[in-house]
Amino acid sequence: MPRPVKSAIARRQIFQTLAAGVAVPAQAAAQTAALPLDDVRGAAQIHGLRLSPERLAVLRPILEQRRQSLSSLRALRIDDSVEPSPGPR
Amino acid sequence: MTAAELRSLSVSELAPLIQARKLSPVELVQACLRQIDALNPRVQAFLTMTSERALAQARAAESDIAAGRYRGPLHGIPYAPKDLLATQGVRTTNGSRVTATAIPNQESTVTARLNRAGAIMLGKLNLLEFAMGSGQVGLVAPARNPWDLAYSPSGSSSGSGAALAARMVPLTLGTDTGGSIRGPAKSCGVVGLKPTYGRVSRFGVTSLSWTLDHVGPMARTVADVARMLQVIAGHDSLDATSATVPPPSYAQALNGGVKGLRIGVPTEHFFQHVHPETEAALRAALGLLRAKGAQLIDVKVQHAALCSAASSVILGSESAAYHEKRLQDHPHLLDPLVRERLEAGAFHSALDYLKALRFRTLLIAEMRRVFAQCDVLMLPAGNAAPLLTDEIAGTDAPPVKPRAPRPDTSNLANLTGIPALVLPCGFTAGPPALPLGIQFCAKPFAEATLFRVGHAYQLATDWHTRLPALATK
């Protein structure tokens, strides 16, 4: 399988982002061509997931798309006074 | 009265006939069972039939009513639940090969209440696997849209919508985590209510996402949905999230009319990418309601564009947690889309989940602000006509050919717990002519207001009386 093109963002940064769930700045996300498989594997290990290489390959484009779709929510600034809702209503 | 005429009656019309003993529940159940026998091989709305039990219950209802023991407006009326609701002694498959033979030893609160009210269960309805599959791979073939069998009835309460449109049964139950009652209601040309979170017990219902799941009634008329909600609503000590707010009389609310009612119409986001045919039908419906005395008010819902992402995090995390063991033990028995979603859901971080819950706090406050300006909020029930069954993707991976953007008009109500009602408001020009729907939301526990506007609209229109060609015979 060909190696993905390296982007301006270090793979380590993406790995840290996935593991910690921290927002990827919109500009940085846009520069990222694709989520490297090694990073997905690393994130799976961090989360305690045992996934075969085949399953990781299936999940990679989905996680990549999700990362992009979550960027706006991650970028949303919420006041310190706002606590998590225990449920709807 | 012919069987076809009988099946065309609403519950509001059937109940007085049954109470007055002009119609036998046995005759009604037999008419429904004949329709199911004739159409289910093509529509695939029912997964499991309980015909013998239903006929026995119909005979018992007939005897009880003759003896003066009439229990109320659902006595002797057939219904069917989505096969996600536990039914004691009757298999509850969740539409999955993993639980294909599961026979619960308990009854969901909702079906128990319907049974106590004398309603008669005909069988269990088809659905998307665990309410999250593609419908393409499951226990049986996917349910089909009675308006055109090449099209999907939408999901995940696919059988609940299809069975109503095909006149197989007058009342069904669905569940709604991100539009799963409202989508099939729209696509099948019927009425569906996602009640306020906590209004209807979730006890005995297989979870998809604890804090987004709702159980709700579906029927062909708003009045019938109101009657069904009256029976299933109310506090349940078996559900920790059940609300203690007592339900009002929904029948009384039906004839309130819309004079003076303030209908909020969103000025941004929700109408983006809506098909012109859908938008025209929505604008016509609003025009009719304004002519009846409603007041239309422009409103903005801040952060509406983030609902889809927040819902995705919450649903993904909670479903991955709920199904963790099932995924470990039986990954190969799952619909590939279900497996993919559960595996991907496990990648969400606690930080993302809590961000989504904090966003939910903001959104709930925002909806309080919106409902200070209006009594109901109108939203599209979807941006276009139903999808062809063959077009439904079996994966969440980005398609090679990008799909048309679809605004999220469902998750706002699931995230905030507000009630939302969908009803038919027209048809596409076709061919084939397929149903279009309109959605109304209200503040928590204001289902009666939704019934008021929905019933007024149905009194002035005939969309809900139209019949798919397949169901006319």
Structure tokens at B311: 């819902």
Q: Tell me, what's the pLDDT at B394?
A: 82
Q: Do B358 and A44 touch (CB under 8 A)?
A: no
Q: Do A58 and B397 touch (CB under 8 A)?
A: yes
pLDDT in tens, B57-110: 999 999 999 999 999 999 999 999 999 999 999 999 999 999 999 999 999 999
Q: Tell me, what's the pLDDT at A1?
A: 34
The number of beta carbons lying within 10 Å of the beta carbon of residue A83 is 11
State the catalytic residue, choosing from B10, B12, B82, B194: B82
Q: Is residue B290's pLDDT more than 60? A: yes
Return all residues near B235 (Cβ < 8 A) that are at least 6 apart: B242, B243, B244, B246
Q: How confident is the model at residue B288 (pLDDT cuts 50, 70, 90)?
A: very high
Q: How confident is the model at residue A16 (pLDDT cuts 50, 70, 90)?
A: very low
Nearest to B445 by CA among B243, B260, B166: B243
What mean pLDDT do residues B10-30 have? 98
Whether B184 and B158 have beta carbons less than 8 Å apart is answered as yes
* Long-range pairs for A73-76: beta carbons < 8 A, 24 or more residues apart: A73/B306, A73/B309, A73/B310, A73/B313, A73/B352, A73/B355, A73/B356, A73/B359, A74/A22, A74/A23, A74/A24, A74/B352, A74/B355, A75/A23, A75/A25, A75/A26, A76/B303, A76/B306, A76/B355, A76/B359
Whether B252 and B394 have beta carbons less than 8 Å apart is answered as no
Q: How confident is the model at residue A22 (pLDDT cuts 50, 70, 90)?
A: very low
> Would you call B413 exposed, middle or buried from its count of C-beta atoms within 10 A (0-12, 13-18, 19+)?
buried
Q: Three-state SS across B243-292?
A: CCCCCCCHHHHHCCCCCCCEEEEECCCCCCCCCHHHHHHHHHHHHHHHHC
Structure tokens at B426: 């027209």
Mean pLDDT of chain A: 72
Q: Is residue A86's pLDDT more than 90? A: no
Q: Tell me, what's the pLDDT at B267?
A: 92
Q: Is residue B366's pLDDT more than 70? A: yes
Q: How confident is the model at residue B268 (pLDDT cuts 50, 70, 90)?
A: confident
Q: Tell me, what's the pLDDT at A10?
A: 40
Q: How confident is the model at residue B430 (pLDDT cuts 50, 70, 90)?
A: confident
- Smallest CA–CA distance, residue B117 to chain A, in Å, is 29
Q: Provide the chain B residues 345-374 that lie in CB contact (below 8 A) with chain A.
A: 346-352, 354-362, 364
Q: Which helix (H) or strand (E) holds B298?
A: strand B295-299
Phi, psi at B11, each rounded to 5°: -65, -35
Q: Is residue A19's pLDDT more than 50? A: no
Q: Is residue A25's pLDDT more than 50? A: no
Q: For chain B, give the percent of residues with pLDDT over 90.
A: 89
What mean pLDDT do residues A30-45 have? 80
Q: Three-state SS across B434-451?
A: CEEEEEEEECCCCHHHHH
B343 vs A21, A22, A59: nearest CB: A59
Return all residues near B277 (Cβ < 8 A) that are at least 6 apart: B384, B385, B428, B429, B436
CATH of the domain at B130: 3.90.1300.10
Establish whether this prediction's ipTM goes over 0.90.
Answer: no
Q: Tell me, what's the pLDDT at A33?
A: 56
pLDDT in tens, B219-266: 999 999 999 999 999 999 999 999 999 999 999 999 999 999 999 999
How many domains in chain B? Answer: 1
- What 3-state DSSP class applies to B458? helix
Q: Tell me, what's the pLDDT at A89?
A: 66
Residue B216 β-bridge partners: B174
Phi, psi at B461, each rounded to 5°: -135, 170
Residue B328 lies in a domain: yes
Which of residues B227 and B392 earns the better pLDDT score?
B227
**What residue spans define the domains of chain A?**
11-72
Residue B399 lies in a domain: no
Residue B223 lies in a domain: yes
- What 3-state DSSP class applies to B192? strand
Handedness of CA B383, B389, B390, B393 (dihedral sign): positive
Q: Tell me, what's the pLDDT at B24?
A: 98
Q: Where are the alpha helices (DSSP H) in B275-380?
A: 276-291, 307-322, 324-329, 336-345, 350-373
Phi, psi at B431, each rounded to 5°: -80, 150
Residue B400 lies in a domain: no
Q: Is B237 a catalytic residue?
A: no
Q: Is residue A55's pLDDT more than 70? A: yes
Q: Report pTM.
A: 0.93
Q: Is B355 a catalytic residue?
A: no
- Best of A67, A73, A82 to substitute, by most chain B Cβ atoms within 10 angstroms, is A73
Residue B398 lies in a domain: no
Nearest to B315 by CA among B213, B175, B416, B412: B213
Residue linked to tokens 């929905």: B454
Q: Is B156 a catalytic residue?
A: yes
CA B109 to each of CA B161, B202, B204, B231, B250: distance values in angstroms, whole numbers, following the listed order: 21, 7, 7, 11, 20
Residue linked to tokens 């000590």: B237
What mean pLDDT do residues A37-48 have? 92
